[in-house]
Structure 1
């Protein structure tokens, strides 16, 4: 673990106050009795954005935390939209999952038509939610924003062209979030003058976000020494062949162990959290790092690719040890920022334009935060929250115009 020249004074940064969400809705599926939630944290110009997740044990508190995080993401990246989140307490591998998701979206139709732009999240890949929207007669999961355009059909075609553009590592819409996480890591390395070629990375979760981050970091020359999925951790101190491993994933983001080279160590799933590396990227589930396990972390920087990956107690404990935790609403905000740049016409279907814009934005945001932070003054999240709170008034009267 690298320590750099970071101070450990005892002062504390005060978190800004957190107002109540605008709206909480609890839904019960009439067929399976599954419970789902929609939380609208903030509205800007009558709209909010945030994905819909599906996992066993999903709670209202979890969805509320995620919705608050979406508000922070949109503020951090100066997007003209508020924050919301959907969640369903159901196993996405259950054969009834698509039907449950469709009934949830149908029940939320008044919000999806006019106020809530949703997208993929844990357990709900983009193609699944888009298929549900198509069956319900909506153009795509960005439906509410697209319908505000002067020519919704033309806007829908432009958005789909961007989502389906081929980029290094996969379709642009699938990889852009992971690319943003990779750039957050590179921005931190640049801030501390670390040579990327000498940096090591451990990644928990190799789905859309974690897999994309691992792919792009490997592509830059960083050594990805560990990746973990539901089946366990794969470890090689000499560096894993990330593209080859990702090519074996199934639809649930799990690597085919029959195609893993024999020299790669197969370890328990949670071992990845304690791997000695410069960067740890939790990209699997919320609350992966807790007060009970954060002392295992041996990385110098934690970059949150998953939403709410670190609990407040764990984050404070890590900061006290000099570990920077780049918060989710900065590190993984590339996907939502890019989606709105695409909707607003700031980028199109040329991947390099999107990569250039996101790289510049992520380096600016992460660099600004790291330059303003000392671990003894609290968490990096506290610094970021103060910055986003200062932008709330500026966005209050924003009008969304979708071309």
Structure 2
């Protein structure tokens, strides 16, 4: 394991400066608090932890696993987490974990376990992690339990007055059943759906007349598709790793999602015959009102952004659009709702649960997130048009340049 830069005790650990997205070879506005590189002694897999900012000694951000994951990617995602926690005024900084390994490989659980073992000093005291691409929450919790850490929110739970009671409350909250699935699984996608609805409502469009394409049907994309369908929008396309499913009359989203396997792929043998099966990249170029990239980072780049014809792009995946692509889309009059607002519902809700602001009533969590997301998107879009430049710039400018470190009270 190699600590690349910046010790954890960095004096300005509570300082926060908004950042711009990562581009290979481009300079950053500031350096993260710390980068760590790890090499798995068994498989040779490489893993990374980037702590971007610390607030009261804590940072939060998920752990992902995918073949080809890079340090630059994890660094960018950690910076995005700092923006998310600041936008929702959460008393915690931003971090991210990433492992360059195929999550479908049968050795992946062992790789994840050894990565968490190596990161244990940070998981014990400073880093609160959760599910991300390729790492479902139940698997992460199993690994934490095997390491004697109970749950992936351990570093925050350990600060509470009664850790056992807090851990029980977190588990209960994550397991609450809601419309669309367990609350912990669907709350992030619900937040993305609310970001879409806020933007659609502001444009004065009716829900029934609005068409949507969703790239990715995992936890985030599947949840977004379910709640947009539930709100009456017409989901004409969804894409997974196998390909794109398209029906201009609208897909039966709940039925399709019910056929997903553990890797978030839809069972093609159960897809109705009238639904067209197209290449997976087609989903980005369909003539729809709303495009929700919810699969991988950097899905929309300078090479394919000309294919995008949606009037509204809502980033459900972290860093779904590269900066140059976002400039191009904006110049063409396409609105891009940035990830650190649109998909921040999951981290906001997790910390509301930790802090006792919400409990085991799903409707309370949904209503709080709906109000927060609509307010933030409305404020972001008020008085803005594409001639002002990318919406992300305005979003970053609204974040306080410095956040004062404060104690965290977890009941």
TM-score category, normalised to shorter length: over 0.9
For residues 208-247 of structure 1, what are the structure 2 equivalents within 5 Å?
Answer: 208-247=219-258
- Taking the aligned partners of 1:175 and 1:100, their CA distance within structure 2 comes to 27
Q: Name the residue aligned to 2:191.
A: 180
1:258 to 241, 265, 269: 269
**Contact 1:287–1:310 under 8 Å retained in 2:** yes
For residues 178-327 of structure 1, what are the structure 2 equivalents within 5 Å?
Answer: 178-327=189-338
SS in 2 for 1:224: strand
1:92 correspondence with 2:108: no
| 1:308-349 superposed Cα distances (whole Å, 9 cap, x missing partner) | 000000000000011010000000000000000000000001
Q: Name the residue aligned to 1:374.
A: 385
Unaligned runs of 5+ in 2: 1-18, 22-27
1:18 to 10, 29, 37: 29
1:118 correspondence with 2:149: no
Give the deviation of 1:396 after TM superposition: 2.0
- Taking the aligned partners of 1:244 and 1:397, their CA distance within structure 2 comes to 47
Q: Name the residue aligned to 1:402.
A: 410
Give the deviation of 1:33 after TM superposition: 1.1
Unaligned runs of 5+ in 1: 1-13
Give the deviation of 1:190 after TM superposition: 1.3
Moved over 3 A (4+): 14-17
- Taking the aligned partners of 1:54 and 1:264, their CA distance within structure 2 comes to 31
| 1:83-127 superposed Cα distances (whole Å, 9 cap, x missing partner) | 000000000000000000000000000000000000000000101
Give the deviation of 1:398 after TM superposition: 2.0
For residues 314-393 of structure 1, what are the structure 2 equivalents within 5 Å?
Answer: 314-388=325-399, 391-393=400-402
Q: 1:15 to 1:371 in 2, by over 3 A?
A: farther
SS in 1 for 2:382: helix
| TM-score, structure 2 normalization | 0.93
Give the deviation of 1:15 after TM superposition: 6.6
**Contact 1:372–1:383 under 8 Å retained in 2:** no
**Contact 1:175–1:208 under 8 Å retained in 2:** yes
Q: Name the residue aligned to 2:13.
A: none
SS in 2 for 1:258: helix
Q: Name the residue aligned to 2:12.
A: none
**Contact 1:279–1:300 under 8 Å retained in 2:** yes
CA RMSD after TM alignment: 1.2
SS in 2 for 1:281: strand
Give the deviation of 1:372 after TM superposition: 4.2
Q: Name the residue aligned to 1:133.
A: 144
- Taking the aligned partners of 1:42 and 1:256, their CA distance within structure 2 comes to 41
| 1:284-315 superposed Cα distances (whole Å, 9 cap, x missing partner) | 00000000000000101000000000000000
For these two proteins, the number of residue pairs brought into alignment is 387
1:79 correspondence with 2:79: no
1:149 to 148, 151, 160: 160
SS in 2 for 1:253: coil
SS in 1 for 2:35: strand
Which structure is higher in RCO with an 8 Å CA cutoff and minimum separation 6? 1
- Taking the aligned partners of 1:110 and 1:373, their CA distance within structure 2 comes to 45
- Taking the aligned partners of 2:273 and 2:241, their CA distance within structure 1 comes to 19
SS in 2 for 1:87: strand
| TM-score, structure 1 normalization | 0.95
